[in-house]
Amino acid sequence: MRTAVGVFKSADDARAAVEHLISVTSRDRITLLTPSRDGRSTKQKIENVPVTEDMKPFGAPMGAALGGALGLGFGVLLFLPGVGQVTALGILASALLGAGGAVALGTAGKIADENLSGGIPADELYVYEDALRKGRSVVIALVDDAASDAAALRMLAKAGAESLDAARETWWVGLRDAERLEYEKKGWDFVAEEALFRRGFGAALDTRFRGKSHAEVAEELRKLYPEDYAEEPFRRGYERGQAYRQRLLAEHGA
């Protein structure tokens, strides 16, 4: 199974994209994530939900009129640490609630992988989170093969979506100058080492590694980044990525 993703500046454009995508995949394989600025009328805190330290969210079934109108079924209203309040409609919402309660986007990849035979890679979720934090909406379509993936991506682009790769670059451009300044203050060569540094930075935002030191997850990192994980620029990037995550939690709520 493959995942086609589009990031939209307009929530209306994101909703319109859902309608286009049903020609290449079924509605029950489409998810719409959108910032929710005022969920007070539908939000009901769920108590006593077993979650990990990285989740700490609340959420509730919404019986969402919007979800019904789009054919996406029910939705959940979530508070995502470091992001804020988000409405999830569609397959992701189903997977989240199917796990037994309200959980954060940080575990959605694991749930999707286990329940949907594919789904959302854990190392991409920070890009979705950044988009949502900036007020953008995200459409995720699960498709069966490369041809359907290419078709879905074309439809998303036609509807006005920014690609996941472009969203990832936008995220890094927003951080790069400040990270370069800090790096070069210590006498290190940012230009020569940026690629390694950035890979380490991104690795720290992988939901499997958040809040964990490089030493704690060295074996896992070795498997994912066998040529990079022990390099000093990668380690520096990993440390900066962890610090970045902590800043987000402080600024946007843990």
Q: For 11, what's the count of Cα atoms within 13 Å in the CB-facing half-sphere?
A: 15
DSSP state, residue 189: -
Residue type, 88: A
The pLDDT of residue 12: 92
The string of pLDDT tens digits covering residues 209-242 is: 999 999 999 999 999 999 999 999 999 999 999 9
Structure tokens at 70: 């789009």
Determine the average pLDDT of the residues in 48-54. 32
Determine the average pLDDT of the residues in 87-96. 67
| 89 confidence band (pLDDT: 50, 70, 90) | confident
- Asked if residue 196 has pLDDT above 80, the reply is yes
Q: Where do the structural domains in the chain lie, given as residue ranges? A: 2-163, 186-252
User: Of all residues in the chain, what percent are helix, strand and coil, respectively (each to 5)?
Assistant: 50, 15, 35
The string of pLDDT tens digits covering residues 3-28 is: 899 999 999 999 999 989 988 998 88
The pLDDT of residue 170: 94
207, 199, 221: which is closest to 81 by C-alpha?
207
Residue 143's SS3 state is strand
Determine the average pLDDT of the residues in 111-117. 40
87, 93, 174: which is closest to 130 by C-alpha?
174
The pLDDT of residue 62: 41
Structure tokens at 88: 């999830």
Alpha helices in the chain (DSSP H): 11-21, 65-70, 91-98, 108-116, 125-133, 146-158, 164-185, 190-205, 218-224, 232-252
The rounded distance, in Å, linking the Cα atoms of 122 and 204 is 11
The rounded distance, in Å, linking the Cα atoms of 167 and 170 is 5
The rounded distance, in Å, linking the Cα atoms of 135 and 36 is 9
| Paired strand residues for 76 | 61, 88
Pick from 77-91, 131-145, 228-242 the range whose average pLDDT is largest: 228-242
Determine the average pLDDT of the residues in 146-157. 94
Burial class, 1, CB count within 10 angstroms (exposed 0-12 / middle 13-18 / buried 19+): middle
Is the torsion defined by CA of 30, 33, 38, 43 positive or negative?
positive
The string of pLDDT tens digits covering residues 93-112 is: 655 444 333 444 444 444 44
The rounded distance, in Å, linking the Cα atoms of 121 and 123 is 5
Structure tokens at 39: 């969920």
Residue type, 116: L
User: Could you give the percent of the chain with pLDDT greater than 90?
Assistant: 52
Q: How many residues comprise the chain?
A: 254
Determine the average pLDDT of the residues in 115-144. 81
The rounded distance, in Å, linking the Cα atoms of 239 and 230 is 13
| 40 confidence band (pLDDT: 50, 70, 90) | very low
Overall pTM surpassing 0.95 (yes/no) = no
The rounded distance, in Å, linking the Cα atoms of 192 and 208 is 28
Determine the average pLDDT of the residues in 110-133. 68
